[in-house]
Amino acid sequence: MDKIDFLFVGVGGQGVLTASRLMSNVGFKSGYDVKLTEVHGMAQRGGSVESAVRLAKKVHSPLLSKGEVDFLVSFECLEAARYLEYLKPEGKLLVSDELLSPLSVISGKSEYPTDIMDKIRELGFDFEMINASKLAKDLGNPKTINIIMMGLLSKYLDISEDVWLNSIKEFLPEKLHEINIKAFMLGRNS
Partner 1 sequence: MLGNEAIARGAWEAGVTFASAYPGTPSTEVMENLKKYKELYVEWAPNEKVSLEACLGASLSGNRSICSMKHVGLNVAADVLQTLTYTGVNAGLVIVVGDDPGMHSSQNEQDTRYFAKMSRAIVLEPSDSQEAKELTKWAFEVSEETDLPVIIRSTTRLSHSSSIVEFQDRVEAPKKNVEKNPEKYIVLPANARKLRVNLDNKMRKAVSLFEKTSFNKIEEDGDTGVIACGVAYEHAREAFKYASFLKLSTTYPLPKSLISDFVRRFDKVYVIEESDPFVADEIRAMDLGVKVIGKEVFEPSLEMSPDLIRKTLFNVEAPKYDLPVLPRPPLLCAGCPHRGVYYALNQIRLKKKDLYITSDIGCYSLGALKPLGATDTTVCMGASLGMAAGLAQNLKSDDGIKVVATLGDSTFTHSGLPGIVELAYNKAPVLAIILDNRTTAMTGHQGNPMSGIRARGDEVDPIKIKKVLKGLGINHIKVVDPIDFKKLQKTIEKMLKLNEPCVIISKKPCVLVERAQNVKYFVDEEKCKGCKACLNVACPAMSFDKDVKKVKIRADLCYGCGLCVDACLHSAISQLKSEKL
Return d(Cα 166, Cα 78) in angstroms, integer.
32
Q: Judged by CB under 8 A, does residue 123 bind partner 1? A: yes
Q: Pick one of 3, 29, 37, 190: the residue that binds partner 1 (CB under 8 A).
A: 37
Report how far apart, in Å, the C-alpha atoms of 110 and of each of 48, 101, 113, 156 are.
17, 10, 9, 36
Q: Judged by CB under 8 A, does residue 145 bind partner 1? A: no
* CB 130 within 8 Å of CB 189: no
Q: Judged by CB under 8 A, does residue 36 bind partner 1? A: yes
Return d(Cα 11, Cα 101) in angstroms, integer.
10
Give the DSSP letter of residue 118: H
Residue nearer to partner 1 on the CB measure, 1 or 42: 42
Residue count, binding to partner 1 (CB under 8 A): 55
Cβ neighbour number for residue 77 with a 10 Å cutoff: 22
Applying the rule CB under 8 A, the residues between 66 and 95 that interact with partner 1 are: 66-67, 78-79, 81-82, 84-85
Which residues are near partner 1 by CB under 8 A? Answer: 11-13, 21, 24, 28, 33-48, 59-63, 65-67, 78-79, 81-82, 84-85, 100-108, 110-113, 116, 119-120, 123, 137, 142
